[in-house]
Each structure stands twice: as C-alpha cells, then as structure tokens.
Amino acid sequence: MKKLEESVKIGPVTAKNRIAVPPMVCFHWSDDSGRVTEKNVEHYRALAAGGPGLIIGEATCVTKRGRLHETQLGLWEDGQIEGWKKLAETVHAYNVPFFVQLHHSGVTGIDLEADCPSDYDKKVGPHGCRGHEMSLDRIKEIEDAFIQAALRAKKAGLDGVELHGCHSYLICQFLNRNVNRREDIYGQKEETFALEILQGIRKACGPDFAVGIRLAAFEPTLEDGIRHAKALQQDVDFMDISYGFNGESHPEAPEDFLYSAAFYGAQEIKKALPHMPIFGVDGIVNGEQARGVIETTGIDMVDVARGFLVNPDFAKDVLAGRDCGKCLHCKPACRWSPFLNDGVVNCPGRTLFLRNREKAE
C-alpha cells in the first residue's frame, strides 16, 4: 500500500512525498506583461516552505493571444525568463522540485478570434468568443510556441513542464471529438496535436527535464480518456488527471466510490498504465482525504489546491498529524477569484484556521 510520506520518482525528478501543489492562477497579481511579480515570489516561497513533494506553477500562457485572463503569467517571450528564474530559485531553496503548467486557452480565453481545432459555435469563454478552425500553419505555430515556452522554463532553471490538456483549453479541444471535427490527421487521430508538442519538447529540452500532461479522464468518455493516455504514454513522465471540456464530456463514477469522478478516472487510468506516475485532483482539503485517496486508488500523487490556499503549511501539518485548516468554499467571493480586482480580500478559511490555532496554543 502506498503511503503519503513516501518519495516518488517522476522521470528525472524525485518528489520527497506524495503531496503536490497543482497549478492555481493568481489573478490580478501581474499585468498585461505577463511577468512574475514579488507577490508571486512570496506566494511560491510560502508554498515551498510548507513541505510539498512537488509544486506545479500556475497555468502560464505560451502566446499572448492564448491567454485565459489579462493578468495571466506568460512564457511567450525571453523577457519573462528572469522572473521564472527567481521563482525556481525560491522553490528550490526548500528542496522542492518545480514544474510549470504550459497553457493556451483556445476558444475559452480572451481572444475574440480564438483558435480552435474546428469552428465552434457555442458561446464559451469570459467574453463570449467563438472558435475558428486553425490552419495547418497555425497549428505548427502554436506547437512551436509550446516548445519555445518549455525551453524558456528550462533556461529559467525549472525541473519540468506540464501541458494543460484539460479544463476546456486548447489541447483539450483537440482531444474531444465533440469539439474537434477535423477530417485531417489532427481529427482522425486527435492525440496528434499533443503528441507533436510533447515530442518537440523532448527533443528541445533533453532527458533531464520532466515532461507531463494534465489530461482529462473523460474526453468525452472514460474509454476515450484511457485511449488518449495510452497513446501519449511513451512521450510523458507523468499524467495529472482531471476533467475535460465543460459541457462536452461525461464524467461519472460508481455510486459507492469514495471520492470524485476525477479520482475515479485517475484510478482507472492507473490500472491501464500501472508503471506511469499518475496524479489525481479534486476537492482534497484535509489529511484524511489525502491519505485515503493515495491508499485506496493506487495513484501516485495527490494534488491539493484549496488546502494550501487556506494553509500554506498544509503538507507539513498533514504529515505531522496536525490540523491543517479547512476551505469554506467561498466562491465567488474567494480572494483567488478572477472577478475580484482589489486584491485585499482575506480568506475566511485561513482566518478561522489561524484563530483556532491561536486558541489551541
């Protein structure tokens, strides 16, 4: 039986425990430049000091047009490398490996003439943009943007990258047959777009740089998700399993399954690929859940997001058997929401956690 405290080998990288901080965009902390700020540095310093086995930096765009939000961090130009170098040095000071998630929104972003594998007429995205079928030249341009962004991450001293291949974004759009209706190889074999990016990154960055993908278990069905995972397995060091294109996929799990459908999908992909490091995510907010999902599903890493936002020391506290706090599910009033612009809203869950800890002491 796997234990939360055990180390995990992820390609060329070793995580000291099985708790990962997944990508979480810090809206409004940067600006249109997409450059790292001191606020980002201090945020990642606190996370690294909290003892996770791995941190995956927030969704970071590979082109300015492909952004999810105007304040999203980027790696689309060399001028952004220095900020990421500072982040890498900050995280590495705590003996924590540091990846970055490479991202392109496609039809769900801010571009009103958005890229999409096929024309897509449903209204999606924050500005109601619609998708326009990408030409072959445009596909190659975006593939190269991912590869160049990965090279910048390596130059900045990061340990690896994770492609964002789920949550309705561009790679996810290629993988979902309800969105991707192309008749060429990118539609006939929908993994082609992701495969060409992964292979390009491998060639450019070499074997000492971890390469993985955040992949939907249900794209649109679990059978499709398992097929995609098998098609990509030779070109990745890990798979981080979550949900697919919103409204065009069908997540499900048995009624007696203890966790979310995303963890069920991760469990089933792990069964299909027993030697692949598989991560799982969705709603883990305390130590009991984190331990349970590792011990019962067979996956290799558990992603904890909101737990670290309430308490940056989540991993230390869980591994020591201490209270780690609790997310109060404050959306849309959450201080991490893209809809808040003042940047001064406190986290009620963290306020309660600190108050209770003070009383206990």
> What is the per-residue DSSP string for 244-260?
-STTS------TT-SS-
Instruction: Name every residue whose Cβ is closer than 8 Å to that of residue 357 and which is 6 or more positions away in sequence.
Output: 323
Q: Given the structure tokens 């798979």, which residue do they identify?
A: 239
At 65 the three-state DSSP class reads: coil
Q: Is the pLDDT of residue 155 over 80?
A: yes
Instruction: Give the pLDDT of residue 334.
Output: 74
Q: Is the pLDDT of residue 128 over 70?
A: no
Report the percentage of the chain scoring pLDDT > 90. 81
User: What stretches of the chain show up as alpha helix (H) in DSSP?
Assistant: 38-49, 81-92, 136-155, 170-175, 185-188, 192-205, 222-232, 261-272, 287-297, 306-310, 314-319, 348-360
Q: Is the pLDDT of residue 169 over 90?
A: yes
Q: Is the pLDDT of residue 106 over 70?
A: yes
Residue 99, strand partner residues: 56, 160
Domains of the chain by range and CATH?
Answer: 8-323 (3.20.20.70)
pLDDT in tens, 182-241: 999 999 999 999 999 999 999 999 999 999 999 999 999 999 999 999 999 999 999 999
- Please give the Cα distance from 33 to 35 (Å, whole number): 5
Do residues 182 and 208 make contact, with C-beta atoms less than 8 angstroms apart?
no
pLDDT in tens, 252-311: 999 999 999 999 999 999 999 999 999 999 989 889 999 999 999 999 999 999 999 999
Q: Is 44 a catalytic residue?
A: no
Question: Is the whole-model pTM more than 0.85?
Answer: yes
pLDDT in tens, 322-360: 988 888 888 766 767 776 655 566 788 888 888 888 787
Q: Is the pLDDT of residue 122 over 80?
A: no
Q: Say which amino acid occupies 250.
A: H
- The active-site residue, picked from 169, 186, 259, 264, is 169
**Average pLDDT for the chain:** 93
pLDDT in tens, 47-104: 999 999 999 999 999 999 999 999 999 999 999 999 999 999 999 999 999 999 999 9
- Please give the Cα distance from 332 to 28 (Å, whole number): 15
* Local confidence band at 24 (pLDDT 50, 70, 90 cut-offs): very high
**For the CA atoms of 148, 151, 156, 157, what is the dihedral angle to 10 degrees?**
160
